[in-house]
Amino acid sequence: MKGYFGIGAEGISKAHNLGAPMRTAHAFGASFLFTVDIDWRLRGWNETDTSRAAENVPFHAFDTLADLRLPRGCQLVGVELTDDAVDLPEFQHPHAAAYVFGRERGSLSEPLQARCHHIVRIPTRFCLNVSVAGALVMYDRVVSMHAWRPRPLMPGGPPGEWVAPRANPTRRRVVVSRDPN
């Protein structure tokens, strides 16, 4: 997969809501991590980050929104339940992106939303835990931007085979081996 992404959070006040997304970002291959305006009196956030992401991936702590700096060409993508947000399954992820999530008991601040190039929403009835939301967004990025083979036609699919997509539904299925050799 080409491109890169970073994961950030604004105004987090609960330790586990910082450590768990960092661990998940590390697992999905994030290029950097960042925070904006968080309470550094949080204790134990690194206990929920068992991969020690902040020691293995560049970590940037911005005290204020005015301090936030992203790499040139990196688009800021806010994840928020707003009426004008793009539903995540319909969103085309930027080649270079920094995804930012809001506080536990509120939303991304209006000034941060105004800085975002895009606002996306996970199509749920109400907000999710920041760690779950982060995992869903990262999974969607990986699935939509990677050159995966088409899913099998049948549930589970036969091992080692996949069904090539059909341009004409009246044609018979073509089964192709997964083995590139």
Paired sense of beta strands 175-177 and 161-163, if any: antiparallel
In tens digits, the chain (181 residues) has pLDDT values of: 679 999 999 988 776 778 788 889 999 999 999 999 987 666 555 666 667 777 888 989 899 999 999 999 999 999 999 999 999 999 999 999 999 998 877 789 999 999 999 999 999 988 888 889 999 999 999 999 987 777 777 787 666 655 555 554 444 444 444 444 4
Closest CA to 5 of 86, 74, 64, 103: 74
pLDDT of residue 47: 64
Whole-Å CA distances, 126 to 80, 121, 132, 135: 11, 10, 13, 16
Q: Which residue has the tokens 């506080």?
A: 103
Report CA Rg, the chain.
Answer: 19
Mind listing the domains of the chain with CATH numbers? Answer: 4-145 (3.40.1280.10), 150-181 (no CATH)
Q: Which residue has the tokens 């083979």?
A: 149
